[in-house]
Structure 1
Amino acid sequence: MHTKITSFSEADIEEASELLARRHQGDRIHEPALPERFSRPSEARLELEQTWKASTVNGMSAGGVVARQDGKMVGYLIGVPKINEMWGRSVWVEYAGHALDRSYSAELYRDLYAALSPTWVALGCLYHVTNIPASDQAAIDAWFNLSFGKEHVYGLRETAPASSFDVPIDPTLEIRRASPADLDISSQLDDVISLHQSRSPVYSIVTPYDREEVRQETLEQLENPEWKTWLALRNGQLVSTQVYLPAQPPRGIGNMVLPEKCSFLGFAATREEEQGQGIGRILTAHGLADDYATGYAFCFTDWRATNLLSSRMWMRQGWRPIAYRLTRRLDERVLWSHAKASPAPWLDKRFANE
């Protein structure tokens, strides 16, 4: 059967919503905690419409494509452009921005990307991102075969009562919730994560930030009753901290992975010389037990796949991967090498005449 790939349009949203809802039904077989409502096309449509609307920003469109066989939609792919200091010139395939009929080969993702990505390159967006369900190994393999790699992991686990955690007792540690009076103490580990991730093997960038602005944000968090900052102190010195808050839709992922009554472990840091001593494990047990006691059934968190400490710790603490962010960065030389057939005026002659 011949597969025809055409541009995505507003008229395709209804059929694509049905495809996305069926994808979610399959995802829930592997992870029943995923919210059931997105198995209905009407609910899946809300996420898809937001993604399609975001595909055009300030007149710049990353577009979308649809694959059909015998007139039936069997797959779609939508890109969302993002241009900012953090991500540079990038295009994101958000969690709701793609789906395939799983009775067809996941190889179709490669064809959809091949058809749509020239639009992204023409915009000068060479950093490409896709967010996919962790349970869809066939899709993961297809994206890996497009030279994408796993950058970020999104995980989910149940909260639990304190009695279910088997953690060592350290009488030298004081565990307590921070108050606004603890502003100075709770800010002591602000740079631990960024510095750790700037090193091998993550090599993440560290951008300058306004410390006074961050300090004010921290104070607002400490004053917010829904944000819980837990401190682990030894002899009055902060050795570890974790922040729990009501879960919000993650960037590029949206609502489709967040169950009801879900919290978010948004920040966790341990002083470098104290790492590996089990302090983070003790603090996590405390935070999850408190969330359980206050009515949360699940806790969501995320981490860099290349961060060896966090990727191992959170899996050991019971978080299950439910989604991955895969990325690919193109060599910027494709911008001039593609122009050789019809040289742009700014190209050096020796490239244009090759």
Structure 2
Amino acid sequence: MTSTRESTTVELRPFGDDDVAPAGLLLAARHRAHVRSQPLLAASGTAGVSDADPTAGVTEASRAAAHVAELWTAAGVNGWAAEGGDGLCGYLIGMPRRGAAWGPNMWVEAAGHAVTSTDLVAPLYARASESWVADGIVAHYAVVPAHDRTVLDEWAALGFGGQHVHGIRSVDPGLDPVPASGVEVRRARSDDADALAELDLVPAEHQSRSPVFSAAPVPDRAELRAEWATGWADERYPTFVAVRDGVVVGATTCCLLVESSMHLGPARPDGAAFLGFAAVLPAHRGHGVARSLIAAVLDWSRRQGCSSLVIDWRSTNRESSRTWRALGFSETFRRLHRHVAY
């Protein structure tokens, strides 16, 4: 699907409503290749059954087309299509995301692009980004399958660098990390609000500094305390705390992935849980606190009937990268970023 080749005549034109269904076919084909590399994504709505099953292909394509249609009907969307002699051979759809931290932005989401040849990545992005930059939209993001080195290389050649990683792991109990001795993990309670507010600041403060340089503002401790005063009890987003020597030193919050706005389209496996927040006080790292918290989240995920647990982290947060990989998470997608200014 991603081999570089000399193209026959290809027409680049604006994406239109009639392109949604054929774009779904391209996305379904891309995702089938992805699933062969990462089977836990098999239930992401566009793949998961044998390529030889003709009815499965219809279902995959229709669900993939639904992902494309959802993007295409969003406000402020912009897209380009590549058409060859056999029909649509590539597309790219950009859509803006709200939030000052993203800058004047355009996002190419996981369902927002697919090509039959890597030769098409650059010309599709060139056509789309020309109008974006002309309109002052200089912060560009792309969510790209992590398994496909040739496509990642094409985006890198266009000036995109890594910013974020999506990961996944099985909840198979035989693969659980072993909880550490001396670390008690329990559900959060009302008297944990102060400790939870302190822990909530840990990743925010860390990521505001070098080498992450996150643009997200560091939240106010008092505001966090007020949120945790009731937030600890939300059953949709259960929070677990880790206790050492009677002191809360770590915490994590999880949920069913369907409750989250993250990991959309092909990046959203059916029956997955989502690890949305995790933090350990710096002085207590290296004692198995994170390992113990993840074991509790995996147990909760199984009790909800989930088959996988997904997560995401900043690729420039090297501590997170080492921790989550050591705890069994493997990459599924990479969020790439380019800021056009110089």
SS at match of 1:154: strand
> How many Å separate the matches in 1 of 2:79 and 2:304?
43
Q: Deviations over 1:12-39 (max 9, x none)?
A: 1121111111111221111222216414
SS at match of 1:265: strand
> How many Å separate the matches in 1 of 2:218 and 2:329?
31
Moved more, 290-299 or 121-130: 290-299
* Structure 2 counterpart of 1:3, from 10, 15, 23: 10
Moved more, 144-153 or 30-39: 30-39
What is the aligned partner in structure 2 of residue 188 from structure 1?
198
C-alpha contact 2:240 2:251 (8 A) present in aligned 1: yes
Compute the displacement of 1:80 (Å).
Answer: 0.5
* Structure 1 counterpart of 2:108, from 74, 93, 106: 93
Compute the displacement of 1:253 (Å).
Answer: 4.3
What is the aligned partner in structure 1 of residue 4 from structure 2?
none
* Structure 1 counterpart of 2:68, from 48, 53, 75: 48
SS at match of 2:192: helix
Q: Deviations over 1:131-179 (max 9, x none)?
A: 1111221110100110101110000111133x654536423x3321112
Report the TM-score when normalising by structure 1.
0.84
* Structure 2 counterpart of 1:313, from 312, 323, 332: 323
SS at match of 1:26: helix
Moved more, 255-264 or 143-152: 255-264
What is the aligned partner in structure 2 of residue 291 from structure 1?
301
> How many Å separate the matches in 2 of 1:84 and 1:220?
25
C-alpha contact 1:77 1:99 (8 A) present in aligned 2: yes
C-alpha contact 1:96 1:253 (8 A) present in aligned 2: no
Q: Name the aligned partner's letter for residue 308 of structure 1.
A: R
C-alpha contact 1:249 1:255 (8 A) present in aligned 2: no
C-alpha contact 1:93 1:252 (8 A) present in aligned 2: no
Q: Name the aligned partner's letter for residue 141 of structure 2.
A: V
SS at match of 1:187: helix
> How many Å separate the matches in 2 of 1:36 and 1:113?
25
Q: Deviations over 1:221-275 (max 9, x none)?
A: 3222232211112233221111111114866741322223211111110111222
> How many Å separate the matches in 2 of 1:166 and 1:148?
35
Query: For residues 260 and 287 of structure 1, do their structure 2 counterparts lie closer, same or farther at Cα, with a shift above 3 Å needed?
Result: same
> How many Å separate the matches in 1 of 2:265 and 2:142?
16
C-alpha contact 1:81 1:91 (8 A) present in aligned 2: yes
What is the aligned partner in structure 2 of residue 38 from structure 1?
46
Identify the structure with bigger relative contact order (alpha carbons < 8 Å, sequence gap 6+). 2
* Structure 1 counterpart of 2:288, from 272, 278, 301: 278
What is the aligned partner in structure 2 of residue 346 from structure 1?
none
Q: Name the aligned partner's letter for residue 152 of structure 2.
A: I
What is the aligned partner in structure 2 of residue 237 from structure 1?
247
> How many Å separate the matches in 2 of 1:286 and 1:233?
13
C-alpha contact 1:94 1:253 (8 A) present in aligned 2: no
Q: Name the aligned partner's letter for residue 313 of structure 2.
A: W
In the alignment, is residue 14 of structure 1 matched against residue 21 of structure 2?
yes
Matches within 5 A, 1:1-354: 1-34=8-41, 35=43, 37-39=45-47, 40-54=60-74, 56-57=75-76, 61=77, 63-70=78-85, 72-101=87-116, 104=117, 106-161=118-173, 164-165=175-176, 167=178, 169-171=180-182, 173-207=183-217, 209=219, 211=221, 213-248=223-258, 253-331=263-341
C-alpha contact 2:101 2:216 (8 A) present in aligned 1: no
Moved more, 151-160 or 274-283: 274-283
C-alpha contact 1:160 1:289 (8 A) present in aligned 2: no
C-alpha contact 1:158 1:298 (8 A) present in aligned 2: yes
Compute the displacement of 1:181 (Å).
Answer: 4.1
Specify the structure having the higher radius of gyration (Cα).
1
C-alpha contact 2:26 2:114 (8 A) present in aligned 1: yes
Compute the displacement of 1:302 (Å).
Answer: 0.5
Query: For residues 151 and 169 of structure 1, do their structure 2 counterparts lie closer, same or farther at Cα, with a shift above 3 Å needed?
Result: closer
C-alpha contact 1:95 1:130 (8 A) present in aligned 2: yes
SS at match of 1:47: helix
> How many Å separate the matches in 2 of 1:275 and 1:71?
56
Moved more, 246-255 or 290-299: 246-255
Compute the displacement of 1:314 (Å).
Answer: 0.5
Compute the displacement of 1:194 (Å).
Answer: 0.9
C-alpha contact 1:8 1:65 (8 A) present in aligned 2: yes
Q: Name the aligned partner's letter for residue 177 of structure 1.
A: R
Query: For residues 99 and 303 of structure 1, do their structure 2 counterparts lie closer, same or farther at Cα, with a shift above 3 Å needed?
Result: same
Contiguous gaps of at least 5 residues in structure 2: 1-7, 48-59
Q: Name the aligned partner's letter for residue 77 of structure 1.
A: L
Report the TM-score when normalising by structure 2.
0.87
Moved more, 266-275 or 244-253: 244-253
Identity of aligned residues (%): 34
